[in-house]
């Protein structure tokens, strides 16, 4: 990782800034007792790989597990191999399922604007494809799922790869969204208390030619608070969308 959580402020810190504040690992041959930066997702302590080798590329890394030790799950550590799966609920309330989906599509414009705000550059087709997956996987059946949390599901099941136009770079880095806590499924996330419901927007600077993200590519992140404020405290313009966007949604969902 090129960035981690600051040991005191919990804000993003790069390796140069960390070393500037806390010094090198050794000073005049004596080990420097520095507070450890932590992983943005799992909060485990990290070390800086390659710090004592002038020819190596430095990176924040998780400590390896010691004999028999079971390390907590971390979505960043496992890189692109982890996908959040939607497990079809068995205790569906059909009336609630329909109401949730109807409410979401009634307010789809404000959800799209918020989705776009979180992702950055994003095409309406990304939103549409994620919604089609949500329909196919019966996301609406989850009893704990609230309307404002639907876009969280859409972001977590999507991969936002770099988008390079003929004359402009629209999305330079690969974007993925992760649960901040050590949970592997949506069900585990919805069982958390509201104050613990945080997700991470992670950016990966993936070298040209590679088709998979790795922890070493993580270059930027930010925490996203999962709240319904954007639905409760609407502002003028929050539901204004481009006609092209409106037409695409109408073609696909008759809204």
In angstroms, rounded to a whole number, what is the distance separating the alpha carbons of residues 21 and 25?
Answer: 12
Asked whether residue 22 carries a pLDDT value surpassing 90, the answer given is yes
Share of the chain above pLDDT 90, in %: 63
Arithmetic mean of pLDDT, 189-194: 82
Q: pTM to 2 decimals?
A: 0.90
Tens-digit pLDDT profile for residues 124-168: 999 999 999 999 999 999 888 999 999 999 999 999 999 888 888
pLDDT of residue 107: 96
pLDDT of residue 202: 96
| Confidence tier at 210 by pLDDT (50, 70, 90) | confident
Asked whether residue 23 carries a pLDDT value surpassing 90, the answer given is yes
Asked whether residue 7 carries a pLDDT value surpassing 80, the answer given is yes
Arithmetic mean of pLDDT, 205-227: 91
Asked whether residue 73 carries a pLDDT value surpassing 80, the answer given is yes
CA-wise closest residue to 115 among 86, 81, 84, 156: 156
In terms of residues, how long is the chain?
255
Q: Where do the domains of the chain lie?
A: 3-72, 80-253
Q: Which residue in the block uniquely carries the two structure tokens 């939103």?
A: 127
- Tell me how many degrees the CA angle 75-212-190 measures, rounded to the nearest 5: 30
């Amino acid at each position: 990782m090129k960035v981690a959580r600051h040991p005191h402020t919990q804000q993003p810190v790069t390796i140069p800034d960390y070393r500037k504040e806390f010094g090198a690992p050794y000073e005049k041959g004596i080990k420097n007792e520095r507070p450890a930066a932590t992983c943005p997702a799992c909060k485990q302590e990290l070390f800086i790989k390659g710090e004592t080798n002038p020819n190596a590329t430095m990176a924040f890394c998780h400590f390896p597990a010691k004999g028999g030790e079971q390390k907590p799950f971390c979505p960043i550590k496992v890189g692109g191999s982890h996908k959040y799966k939607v497990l079809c609920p068995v205790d569906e309330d059909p009336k609630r399922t329909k109401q949730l989906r109807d409410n979401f599509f009634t307010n789809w414009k404000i959800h799209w604007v918020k989705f776009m705000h979180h992702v950055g550059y994003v095409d309406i087709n990304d939103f549409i494809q994620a919604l089609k997956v949500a329909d196919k996987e019966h996301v609406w059946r989850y009893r704990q799922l609230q309307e404002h949390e639907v876009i969280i599901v859409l972001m977590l099941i999507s991969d936002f790869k770099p988008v390079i136009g003929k004359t402009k770079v629209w999305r330079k880095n690969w974007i993925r969204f992760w649960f901040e806590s050590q949970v592997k499924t949506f069900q585990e996330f919805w069982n958390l208390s509201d104050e613990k419901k945080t997700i991470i927007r992670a950016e990966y600077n993936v070298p040209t030619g590679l088709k998979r993200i790795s922890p070493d590519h993580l270059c930027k992140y930010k925490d996203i608070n999962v709240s319904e404020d954007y639905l409760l405290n609407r502002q003028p313009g929050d539901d204004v969308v481009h006609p092209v966007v409106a037409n695409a949604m109408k073609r696909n969902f008759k809204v």
